Amino acid sequence: MIFTMRGEGSMMNRSGTGNSIAVIGAGAVGAVVAALVSEAGYNVEIVCKHADLAERIRTEGIHLTGAKGEHRVAMPAVADVAELKETKDIIFLATKATDMLEVAEELLPFLKDTSVVVSLQNGICEDALGGIIGRDRIVGCVVGWGSTMHSPGEIEMTSTGEFVIGTIDNRPDPRLRSIAEMLNTVAPVEISSNIMGSLYAKLIINSCITSLGAVCGLYLGEMLSKKKIRAIFIEIMREAMAVANAMELRVEEYGGKINYYTLLRGAGFFDNLKRHLLIRMIGFKYRRLKSSSLQSLERGKPTEIDFLNGYIVAKGEEYTVSVPVNRRIVQMIKEIEEKKREISPDNFNDPVFSSFT
């Protein structure tokens, strides 16, 4: 069951205003959450990683523009988790997935028995986080809106959308109401009894768009104009759904628009044509989208592949489901990270992809 909490947070009875809140990470997502939740009157402290940025946020504030208007919000800010001033009731974890586990260890001294950590990462990080922090402390969250960091502290909210939150074992939890009230100051919030199904829905589309873009280096429009790449895109979905079925995981619609069960149904000519047309339309609508994993590679940073296609591969191994396309994508991106492979559309000439035309 999913129900929705809508409306502006300023018009709601904020039962959680007395909570001590930390946002870990001042990038595109973390900065937006910290700025708008703090501006709404909540007790927020942000960890920024860099001392100069922390000083700027304390004195000048985060400058937010875009879909929610212009805001400049100053708040307590520190450069390191160890500098947090007190234990926290709610922590919004907005680091890159590659930094997440190290940060989770550092957070342990700042957690109460009743504390909750909300994962705002791409991919599925909740299982790994739960292994460090405790599964009963983890709340999964799908971020369905977009933002861009133009420079440290200068953030544009580029699109609107929703949050979906829930406990990873589908337990009712009264803390979800307080979290929803806070996040509702940023975007409408749905509380879900199947958060892993929602997270997996987003993971599938990211494993197609973000990972394939990192392999070939193309913007989304050019990439999805190529029939062979669209066919690989579809096969990533098929493998991911085979794993979900083995896990007995019900995958939710992504963004209320992509139903993977319906999309992948049928093997006839017209069934396949509809799939290709939908994917081509996605490519056209978001033609200037550049893969976030590609941007990481271009900056010499590791990608979040282990929590995207790598998650599908790991679960495929656990449930003995063959996922050769996802496995090869992971291997290629690892080779690119290690400077053993170039980013190029020629990567799709690999023998694993020979059946896709």
Residue type, 344: S
Is residue 355 included in any domain, yes or no?
A: no
One domain, residues 249 and 318: yes
One domain, residues 30 and 95: yes
One domain, residues 246 and 310: yes
Number of domains in the chain: 2
Q: What is the CATH number of the domain that holds 331?
A: 1.10.1040.10
Is residue 245 included in any domain, yes or no?
A: yes
One domain, residues 33 and 172: yes
Identify the domain boundary among 193, 222, 246: 193
Is residue 56 included in any domain, yes or no?
A: yes
pLDDT tens, 116-140?
999 998 889 999 999 999 999 999 9
Is residue 113 included in any domain, yes or no?
A: yes
One domain, residues 122 and 73: yes
Identify the domain boundary among 176, 193, 210: 193
Contact 178, 9 (CB under 8 A): no
Q: Alpha-carbon torsion 174, 95, 150, 54, what sign?
A: positive
Q: What string of DSSP letters covers 215-256?
A: HH---HHHHHTSHHHHHHHHHHHHHHHHHHHHHTPPPPPBTT
Is residue 357 included in any domain, yes or no?
A: no
Instruction: Give me 85's structure tokens.
Output: 């001033």
Residue 209 has a CB neighbour count (10 Å cut-off) of 23
pLDDT value at residue 255: 82
One domain, residues 56 and 187: yes
pLDDT value at residue 146: 87
**Residue 232 lies in domain:** 198-349
Is residue 293 included in any domain, yes or no?
A: yes
pTM of the model: 0.91
Contact 72, 64 (CB under 8 A): yes
Can you state the angle between helices 227-247 and 195-216, rounded to 10 degrees? 150
One domain, residues 162 and 217: no
Q: What is the CATH number of the domain that holds 183?
A: 3.40.50.720
One domain, residues 88 and 211: no
Is residue 270 included in any domain, yes or no?
A: yes
One domain, residues 180 and 209: no
Is residue 117 included in any domain, yes or no?
A: yes
Flag residues of the chain having pLDDT under 50. Answer: 1-3, 6-13, 15
One domain, residues 189 and 287: no
pLDDT value at residue 288: 85
One domain, residues 82 and 172: yes
Helix (H, G, I), strand (E, B) or coil at 265: coil
Contact 214, 291 (CB under 8 A): yes
State the residue for tokens 């063959």: 322
One domain, residues 170 and 246: no
pLDDT tens, 184-228?
999 999 999 999 999 999 999 999 999 999 999 999 999 999 999
Helix (H, G, I), strand (E, B) or coil at 290: coil
Identify the domain boundary among 154, 174, 193: 193
